[in-house]
A and B are shown apart, each in its own frame.
Chain A
Amino acid sequence: MIDREQVLHVARLARLSLDEDEVERMSRELSGILEHVETIGELDLDIDGVKPTTHVVPLENVLRPDQAQPSLERDRILANAPDVDGDFFRVPSPQA
Chain B
Amino acid sequence: MSASDSAILDLSVASGVAEVEAGNLSADEWFSAYADRPDELGAYLWRAEGPGDVAGTEPPDGSLGGVPVAVKDIFCLDGVPTTAGSRILEGYLPPYTATAVERLLGAGARVLGKTNMDEFAMGSSNENSAYGDVCNPWDPARVPGGSSGGSAAAVAGGLAPCAIGTDTGGSIRQPAALCGVVGLKPTYGSISRSGMIAFASSLDQCGPFTRDVTDSALLLAAMQGLDPKDSTATGIPAGVELPSRQDLKGLRIGVPRELSSDAKGIETGVRESFERSLALCEELGAEVVEAVLPHAGHGISAYYLLAPAEASANLARYDGVRFGLREPAEHLDAMYERTRAAGFGPEVKRRIMLGTYALSSGFYDAYYGRAQRVRTRIAEDFAAAFEQFDLLVTPTSPSVAFGIGERADDPLAMYMSDYCTVPMSLAGIPAISIPSGTATPDGGGPELPVGLQIAGPAYSESLILDAAHALEGAIGFDPTAPFAGGRS
Contact = CB atoms under 8 A, between A and B. Distances in A.
A14 to B, nearest CB: 4
A7 B331 CA distance: 23
Contacts of A86: none
A41 B321 contact: no
Nearest to B351: A33
B87 interface: no
Interface size band for B: 35 or more
Contacts of B93: 76, 79-80
Main secondary structure, interface of B, reads helix
A40 B412 contact: no
A47 B332 contact: no
Contacts of A41: 366, 370
Interface string B414-434: 010000000000111000000
A40 B302 contact: yes
A20 interface: no
A1 interface: no
Contact of B333 (A40, A61, A79, A96): A96
Contacts of B344: 16
Contact of B373 (A2, A52, A95): A52
Contact of A92 (B298, B304, B322, B329): B329
A73 B330 contact: no
Interface stretch (B128-136, B248-256, B352-360): B352-360
Nearest to A26: B353
A91 B335 contact: yes
Contacts of A51: 373, 376
B331 A92 contact: yes
Contact of A10 (B96, B332, B334, B360): B360
Given A14-B312, A57-B458, A36 B331 contact: no
A91 B356 contact: no
B333 A15 contact: yes
A38 B305 CA distance: 10
Contact of B353 (A10, A61, A73, A93): A10
Contacts of B325: 82
Interface string A3-35: 000110011011111110010001001101110
B232 interface: yes
A39 B301 contact: yes
Contacts of A14: 312, 340, 352-353, 356
Contacts of A68: none
B357 A2 contact: yes
B212 interface: no
B331 A17 contact: no
A36 to B, nearest CB: 6
Nearest to A46: B373
Given A80-B322, A91-B321, A96-B331, A32 B92 contact: no
A50 B377 contact: yes
A55 B374 contact: no
Nearest to A49: B373
Contact of A62 (B231, B352, B373): B231
A57 B357 CA distance: 27
Interface string B339-373: 01100100001101110110010000011011111
Interface string B84-126: 0000000011011000000000000000000000000000000
Given A33-B412, A80-B322, A82-B325, A93 B330 contact: yes
Contacts of A22: 349
A62 B232 CA distance: 9
Interface string B208-245: 00000000000000000000100110100000000000
A45 B376 CA distance: 11
Nearest to A82: B326
A39 B303 CA distance: 13
Interface of B: 92-93, 95-96, 187-189, 202, 228, 231-232, 234, 295, 298, 300-302, 304-305, 312, 316, 319-326, 328-338, 340-341, 344, 349-350, 352-354, 356-357, 360, 366-367, 369-377, 379, 411-412, 415, 426-428, 458
Interface of A: 2, 6-7, 10-11, 13-19, 22, 26, 29-30, 32-34, 36-41, 43, 45, 47, 50-57, 59, 61-62, 64, 72-73, 76-77, 79-83, 89, 91-96
25 contacts: A2-B357, A13-B356, A14-B356, A15-B316, A16-B340, A16-B341, A16-B352, A17-B334, A26-B353, A36-B300, A37-B371, A40-B370, A40-B371, A45-B370, A52-B375, A57-B188, A59-B234, A64-B228, A72-B96, A80-B92, A81-B321, A83-B326, A91-B321, A92-B328, A93-B331
